[in-house]
Copies of this chain bind each other. A is one copy, B any other.
Amino acid sequence: MNEPQSRFLRACHRLPVDATPVWFMRQAGRYMPEYREIRQNLSLLEIMERPDVAAEVTLQPVHALGVDAAILFADILLPIVPMGLDLKFIPGTGPQIDPPVRSEADITALRAVDVASDLGHVMETIRILRNELPDDVPLIGFAGAPFTVVSYMVEGSPSRDYRHTKGLMYSAPDLWQELMGKVAEVLGDYLLAQIQAGAQAVQLFDSWVGALSPADYARFVLPYSQRVLEAAASSGVPVIHFGTMTASLLELMRLAGGTVIGLDWRVPLDVGWSALGGEIAVQGNLDPVALLAPRPELERRVKEVLDGAGGHPGHIFNLGHGILQQTPVENVRSVVEMVHEWTTANGS
């Protein structure tokens, strides 16, 4: 493989860069007027099922913000639809899966997925995007991690305590493993298919993994995340492994795999990077609420993240979670400029 030329891919491989690359989780979405315009006529699922529209939405922040990577516009729960589940997005509540997956019969009934055809609209979106994106803006594909996807499937709606999910783990570990195994297989295939369609990197989102103790993560989750991460890594593209509330899980997440580990703001970047052993790239970790702060405070916080990175190769600037819909676009654009300007000045 030739040495990659884009900032983002170089940083994933911890190669020197001309400036720290920046992208934002949920960089396409409701905070952007051009996105809201499209949403007036189409539901979330309709946008994601129409490759031309999903591609257009993916490109919006690339044009508006000057970010160093595009991320496919999709939802982590898309792969559960061909598994036979009924997914709806309820305004104000979030995703709803009704009925949820709780019994042996529910798990047995899950259908095998042929990702290339069942999720063909996603692959088509990726092909369109690879044609339209400039060479220096790589496309990131993604999937939810098995724990996060399974917890949605089992809870049926957002949860504070993950009572049903942990209940299944603790009461029926064999069923848990069967379910995680099925989901991990689909997610691994899904990432590989995205890479084959043209994604130049992928991110595994384990957004809710911070609900678990390290012992439970090691026993009930790590082997399945590892399976998905290894499937994706076999392609040779960089794989970002992200979670929130992971301060106690970082070593285990590193063991599970990933070229890059995504941190949230609850761990100072330097502390998190050390906990990971340093010999890996990191992504993060501005608090998304900082994007709502006045300019001087926002600058202070961006500097704090960059200081934590200390100019070491292998830092990708991002938030610690997705952009909030109340975020002013102007602030997001300013952060891209700050990061580029301040890290170019340092020389690297």
Contacts and interface: CB of A to CB of B under 8 A. Distances in A.
B213 A265 contact: yes
Nearest to A271: B248
Nearest to A287: B213
A66 interface: no
A269 to B, nearest CB: 10
B292 A170 contact: yes
Contacts of A297: 170-171
Contacts of A267: 248
B268 A245 contact: no
A266 interface: yes
A344 B3 CA distance: 63
Interface in A38-60: none
Contacts of A212: 266
Given A171-B294, A248-B267, A294-B170, A288 B161 contact: yes
Contacts of A245: 210, 245, 266
A290 interface: yes
Contacts of A324: 161, 163
A167 interface: yes
Interface of A: 161-163, 166-167, 170-171, 210, 212-216, 245, 247-248, 265-268, 271, 287-290, 292-294, 297, 304, 324, 326
